[in-house]
Structure 1
């Protein structure tokens, strides 16, 4: 039975996001058949069709009913007022019939929404849901576009254990948006799940003297408009934007990869000079770099950690050589090989951190075996250290267990031997390109490469909460 929706409108005309329009107040009590409403959290499904459910840590991350193919963001930003005006064009394909669906957007004011060029009704719900009702129901397996006009002063999100992520202003008067898990939704409407990679295009206009650096390759600078394109599909949390009075340096690595480094006023360029040597080291161990461009954004302020944004990590003043190596290693283990759910984050981060150990060893530091044994002696059987389960560290602790995880990685190397270990290190990101992976997938892969039963190893190191037995250490 068709359900009629009554819309009510205020009589007040507002100047909103550069548009003059009536402010629409759609009642949230909208009824539709449940099989045509996209869920307000992304529902993960295994390749064999088994429904895994939503992310247990962030159950409303992402949305159901569609897969995004591309984001194109046109924005203008005024550093003096900290005000953003923007239009996002989301190109997607339905995975079911859709009479209603959501995008994720935190804060900001939405002025208008169009679906396939036709004005659509919308409401805001919960903390970050933009609920959209197109005039005409969308058929399954059909390409469609969503245009969202919005504006406001973007704000960061504060995540336990991570501090501020997403859009924040900088001491130099600029702004940067980077970090996980919820950076993207602080500045553009997005299907905010790592399971939905998409290409990304940005046209950002800023006042004279300011520059914009983003994910991908810089395509053009016309006046105050800076255009960027990332044609390699990227997870939302791996996108970034930075606005500042940057000094930009471009170069090319011996293999042909372009490098673009951007330095905010007062930033030290010394760390960036180490990038060519690090990239040579990583490509030797991990294979060809999976992106056309690399580099970094170097800020003159304190960050809790470097953000491994795709192709262009963001570093603060405390970033050191280890941070540079880990953020670049994350381009393979973290961006090319992307996780399914946030409980899987320690899987990729532990391997990226192990590459720091390998780098330090190759450059005259402790051998990885000595570092491993020293750490085991230091932590002993401390339940505070071993009681954290790698496969399920808990919400807000996704990034807090890699000190245990890096030990697991070296223990795996000892357990299966160098030849098979370095096959895992090199091949897993490559075969998983555009395929999100979780702990279960990794366990199957390592066992297949090792050609042995690794159940005891995985139970002790990945799922265990006590010191693993001596024979597995």
Structure 2
């Protein structure tokens, strides 16, 4: 379970936001059994209509009652004061009648909320719930807008084993907001579930000498306002914003893909030079790059691992070619193909890591089979290593099992043969464009492509907690 630090806002912060010290009016009390109240956690439903429930690791991630179509965020950031003032407009469509609904926002002070241009009541609940009561009930299947004005000093979320994610200050006085499982909600109100992807637009104003880099394509820079547009729907956890005294370089790949790289103070440009070759390799294995623009943000701060933000990953001072290739591979296995719940994260991360193995083999590194055999010998029958279940590693450990998962991927290749395996590697992200998949979906797909019963393989490798038998290795 993520550990979060309780924060309070001083009177000075409230005054900076233009607030009095009085609390906002509370939301209307919900009647018992009221089916017009949107849930405070996204409820997953299978294609056959079976209700799967909320994410078992983060049950209040996301919200019910609506689907977001677009986020448009306008912000102003003062690096010296580390202070943010912002307005977010969320355009969504109701999936039920709504007399009340939630957005996710961690910390920060909300000063006003409007629904369809009319002031709405709002209150805060739990650690990240912004509870909104519109002036009139919203009918089902209706498009609506929510405008949220807010301000404050954004703070990161601290996740065991991963450190700080979301909005955090860099050593040079800039900021970066990236990383999973929760990033977007540390700086703008959002339906924080990977199942609800939406387009994203940002207008960010910063002082002279500072730059803003974000997800998508930079559309303009004018009078200190940097505008970005991501018209391919993006999961909240893969949005990104970075503010610093960047050196920005733009180029174009041979296939026409636009590249924008941003280098923070005291960073090298050497890692970025590997991007064209890495993408040439990956597109050869996976097909065309799934987004209209790419590149990277390069910081001197240590980030482990490199957050694979959609289109434009973020790399810290310790990143190497393996980190770059894995972050780029995650554009297919992780962003184009996204997971349903966080317990499914190892499914995409393991394939992204295996692509690093293939890349390094092709660059004169160890053969993947030798690497696989060496890894098996090294871990032996270690109960701690094999005891981690790929299909359900546990809350807080969803990003810590890809070392086992990459062995599973190569074992699958050996078990079904190169033809079916490379079909899975290339085609599964492509057929799942803008869809969310879990282990169950992947198991059905691999069995269909292999045209064989893989239940023993899946049980041993994906659901098992001991060394798989020799015939499956």
- Superposition TM-score tier, normalisation by shorter sequence: over 0.9
Shift of 1:216: 0.2
Q: Distance in 2 between matches of 1:19 and 1:224?
A: 26
Question: What SS does structure 2 have at the residue aligned with 1:103?
Answer: strand
Shift of 1:83: 0.2
1:188 aligned onto 2:188: yes
Shift of 1:140: 0.5
Give the equivalent residue in structure 2 for 1:341: 341
1:113 aligned onto 2:127: no
Shift of 1:305: 1.5
Q: Do the aligned residues in 2 keep the contact of 1:94 with 1:138 (CA within 8 Å)? A: yes
Give the equivalent residue in structure 2 for 1:328: 328
Shift of 1:78: 0.3
Q: Distance in 2 between matches of 1:183 and 1:382?
A: 34
Question: What SS does structure 2 have at the residue aligned with 1:36?
Answer: coil
Question: What SS does structure 2 have at the residue aligned with 1:182?
Answer: coil
Q: How does 1:201-212 map to 2 (within 5 A)?
A: 201-212=201-212
Deviations 1:330-359 (A, max 9, x none): 000000000000000000000000000000
1:134 aligned onto 2:130: no
Q: How does 1:289-438 map to 2 (within 5 A)?
A: 289-438=289-438
Q: Distance in 1 between matches of 2:409 and 2:63?
A: 33
Q: Distance in 2 between matches of 1:90 and 1:34?
A: 24
Q: Do the aligned residues in 2 keep the contact of 1:32 with 1:99 (CA within 8 Å)? A: no
Q: Distance in 2 between matches of 1:304 and 1:350?
A: 16
Q: Do the aligned residues in 2 keep the contact of 1:16 with 1:111 (CA within 8 Å)? A: no
Q: Distance in 1 between matches of 2:410 and 2:452?
A: 17
Give the equivalent residue in structure 1 for 2:122: 122
Shift of 1:373: 0.2
Q: Do the aligned residues in 2 keep the contact of 1:210 with 1:244 (CA within 8 Å)? A: yes
Gapped runs of 5+ residues in structure 2? 1-13
Q: Name segments (4+ residues, structure 1) moved above 6 Å.
A: 19-22
Count of residues in Structure 1 that have an aligned counterpart in Structure 2: 460
Shift of 1:304: 2.1
Question: What SS does structure 2 have at the residue aligned with 1:352?
Answer: helix
Q: Do the aligned residues in 1 keep the contact of 2:108 with 2:154 (CA within 8 Å)? A: yes
Give the equivalent residue in structure 2 for 1:154: 154
Give the equivalent residue in structure 2 for 1:276: 276
Q: Distance in 1 between matches of 2:310 and 2:202?
A: 14
Give the equivalent residue in structure 2 for 1:59: 59
Deviations 1:274-315 (A, max 9, x none): 000000000000001000000000001111211000011001
Question: What SS does structure 2 have at the residue aligned with 1:319?
Answer: coil
Deviations 1:238-259 (A, max 9, x none): 0000000000000000000000
TM-score normalized with structure 1 length: 0.96
TM-score normalized with structure 2 length: 0.96
Deviations 1:63-106 (A, max 9, x none): 00000000000000000000000000000000000000000000
Q: How does 1:210-221 map to 2 (within 5 A)?
A: 210-221=210-221
Question: What SS does structure 2 have at the residue aligned with 1:374?
Answer: helix
Q: Do the aligned residues in 1 keep the contact of 2:27 with 2:131 (CA within 8 Å)? A: no
Deviations 1:179-231 (A, max 9, x none): 00011100000000001000000000000000000000000000100000000
Gapped runs of 5+ residues in structure 1? 1-13
Give the equivalent residue in structure 2 for 1:7: none
Q: Distance in 2 between matches of 1:108 and 1:237?
A: 18
Q: How does 1:68-147 map to 2 (within 5 A)?
A: 68-147=68-147
Give the equivalent residue in structure 2 for 1:43: 43
Q: Distance in 2 between matches of 1:242 and 1:32?
A: 44
**Once superposed, what is the RMSD of the aligned Cα atoms?**
1.3
Q: Distance in 2 between matches of 1:456 and 1:22?
A: 61
Q: Distance in 2 between matches of 1:53 and 1:288?
A: 35
User: Aligned in 2, Cα 1:205/1:39: closer, same or farther, shift over 3 Å?
Assistant: same
User: Aligned in 2, Cα 1:394/1:62: closer, same or farther, shift over 3 Å?
Assistant: same
Q: Do the aligned residues in 2 keep the contact of 1:167 with 1:175 (CA within 8 Å)? A: yes
